[in-house]
A and B are shown apart, each in its own frame.
Chain A
Amino acid sequence: MKETLAIINRMQADGVIGSYAIGGAVGATFYLEPVATLGVDVFVTSPGESRSSPLSLAPIYSYLTGRGCKVKGEFVVIGEWPVQFLAAGDELEREALAEAVEFDVEGVWTRVMSAEHLAAIALKAGRPKDFTRVLQFLELETVDRDKLNRILSKHGLSDKWDKFRQGYLHE
């Protein structure tokens, strides 16, 4: 993972991507117990992007394949890890990037979405595995409920949250 993160950091320093943050199952592992995953989800913005410019993966793939990385389906294998680059497409994901937390992984700094943003994004995605992740965050008390409530309210997810609480938490 150290090598993977170092290459992503270099890619950012070289201006191939703007900001980035790890999300998904690998992001959640920074707060929870490890869960099965195929690869690392890295949410990115284009360098100096405007809201109207969609993320182009071509420069990312070109940069990485030029350094010996292989493309496998939707992943690029960097070091030992398949990595999927995803555009931070909506306001919630952009906020998650802006407020990402820095972690030191064996001497390499990286940015990971906050537990509250990961939980909010999982709630929004709404697949069974996402709801399981929200439950994990709540059960292990790794989210600040006030902060989570603020994020959910700001991004129009309060109704979804109420339904989730009724269905899964019986609150």
Chain B
Amino acid sequence: MSKESRKELARLPIREKLKLLAKLRDRSLAIAASRRKKAEAKREK
């Protein structure tokens, strides 16, 4: 992402930024859950 695009994102109203942050959080939580499942499956083998 370019510096200008990031600056634009940084200038968004906090309400909009928090909506984007919530999407990123959901993605991060899904990745963490998937990693946990894989680790558990590996341990069970």
Number of interface residues of B (CB under 8 A): 19
Asked if B17 contacts A140 (CB within 8 A), the reply is no
Determine the chain B residues whose CB is within 8 A of the CB of A142 once the complex forms.
Answer: 10
Instruction: Give Cα A89–Cα B28 distance, bound, in whole angstroms.
Output: 27
B residues at A contact (CB < 8 Å) = 1, 3, 6-7, 9-10, 14-15, 17-18, 20-22, 24-25, 27-29, 32
**A103 within 8 Å of B by Cβ?**
yes
Instruction: Give Cα A103–Cα B17 distance, bound, in whole angstroms.
Output: 13
Asked if A37 contacts B10 (CB within 8 A), the reply is no
A residues at B contact (CB < 8 Å) = 1, 25-26, 29-39, 80-82, 103, 105-106, 136, 139-140, 142
Asked if B14 contacts A140 (CB within 8 A), the reply is no
* A38 CB contact (under 8 Å) in B15, B18, B28: B28
Instruction: Give Cα A38–Cα B29 distance, bound, in whole angstroms.
Output: 6
* Chain A residue at smallest Cβ distance from B6: A33
Asked if A34 contacts B6 (CB within 8 A), the reply is no
* A34 CB contact (under 8 Å) in B3, B7, B21: B21
Instruction: Give Cα A140–Cα B7 distance, bound, in whole angstroms.
Output: 6
Asked if B24 contacts A1 (CB within 8 A), the reply is no
* A105 CB contact (under 8 Å) in B3, B15, B29: B15
Given contacts A1-B18, A105-B15, A142-B10, contact A36 B3 (CB under 8 A): no
**New contact pairs (5) apart from A32-B10, A33-B1, CB-CB < 8 Å:** A29-B17, A30-B14, A34-B17, A105-B18, A142-B10
Can you list 29 residue pairs at the A/B interface with Cβ under 8 Å? A1-B18, A26-B21, A29-B17, A29-B21, A30-B14, A31-B10, A32-B6, A33-B1, A34-B9, A34-B18, A34-B20, A34-B21, A37-B28, A38-B28, A38-B29, A80-B22, A82-B25, A82-B29, A103-B14, A105-B14, A105-B15, A105-B18, A106-B15, A139-B3, A139-B6, A140-B3, A140-B7, A140-B10, A142-B10
